[in-house]
Amino acid sequence: MLFFTQCFGAVLDLIHLRFQHYKAKRVFSAAGQLVCVVNPTHSLKYAPTRCAVAQTSAEQGGLPPCHHHEAVHDPQLVPCTCPLFSCPWEGHLEVVVSHLRQTHRINILQGAEIVFLATDMHLPAPTDWIIMHSCLGHQFLLVLRKQEKYEGHPQFFAMMMLIGTPTQADNFTYRLELNRNQRRLKWEATPRSVLECVDSVISDGDCLVLNTSLAQLFSDNGSLAIGIAITTSKVHNGEAEM
């Protein structure tokens, strides 16, 4: 009976996963798009990143605020970029991807256009949904965070960060798209570098921001499908001129 119960549970999980894929493909019908179902990383007790600690200290007259390279005390080393983890790891940019995949089990998808399907949007803040996106010869980190920027009013913040330098990030443009119930919402911007931190991006407002009502408008049974497309800035500017 125990063996049967475990097998039956695995079958149900597989059916649920396939159903999530079907829902995302139904929303984003473009052929060739890859769908990634992303489960949340929920922290009952928020573990601030080093950037958040630096910002708090700066407000108290201590360390300078976290912006750009100031987030890294050694220009040759990068702290762990995985939010909601008080991870002491440091390393060079070349090994950030290996650390995220091996230590934090973050999935990576390849392709110019993918669909990011975040599940369990109802979980309390702070909660993160994270994947890596590989295209155009580079790796990007997509972070969707649910956070209370104002007490009692959770918001969703979606951003794309290049696992590279700010100069390299300026060569790309990313687009996030929500599409449901005959409504469409798009956000286009230049990705930020992982040498910066998620808290700085949120503080600067340089990301897609959704309040709870807007997120529910585009969600489907607690799941939010986000279409992602990345292009080089040169291609993007050419299209704008046309």
Angle CA 70–76–77, to nearest 5: 75
Residue 157 above 50 pLDDT? Answer: yes
Q: What's the sign of the alpha-carbon dihedral 219, 220, 223, 226?
A: negative
Overall residue count recorded for the chain in this entry: 242
* Residue 176: band (very low, low, confident or very high) from pLDDT cuts 50, 70, 90: very high
User: Average of pLDDT values for 100-117?
Assistant: 83
When the pLDDT of each residue in the chain is averaged and rounded to a whole number, the result is 75
Domain ranges of the chain: 30-40+77-232
**Rounded mean pLDDT of 206-210?**
95
DSSP state string for 70-121? GG-SSTT-EE---TT-----EE-GGGHHHHHHHHS---EEESSEEEEEE--T
**Lowest model confidence (mean pLDDT) among 81-85, 93-97, 153-157, 235-239:** 235-239
- Three-point CA angle 202, 207, 171, nearest 5°: 115
Write the burial class of residue 140 (CB in 10 Å: 0-12 exposed, 13-18 middle, 19+ buried).
Answer: buried
Helix (H, G, I), strand (E, B) or coil at 2: helix
Reported as a single tens digit per residue, the pLDDT across 41-98 is: 765 344 444 454 434 333 444 433 434 334 444 556 777 877 555 678 888 888 888 8
In the prediction, which pLDDT does 56 show? 38
pTM over 0.75: no
- CATH class as words, domain 30-40+77-232: mainly beta
Tell me the residue ranges of DSSP E strands in the chain: 34-38, 41-42, 78-79, 90-91, 108-110, 113-118, 127-135, 138-150, 153-162, 172-180, 183-189, 192-193, 208-211, 219-220, 223-232
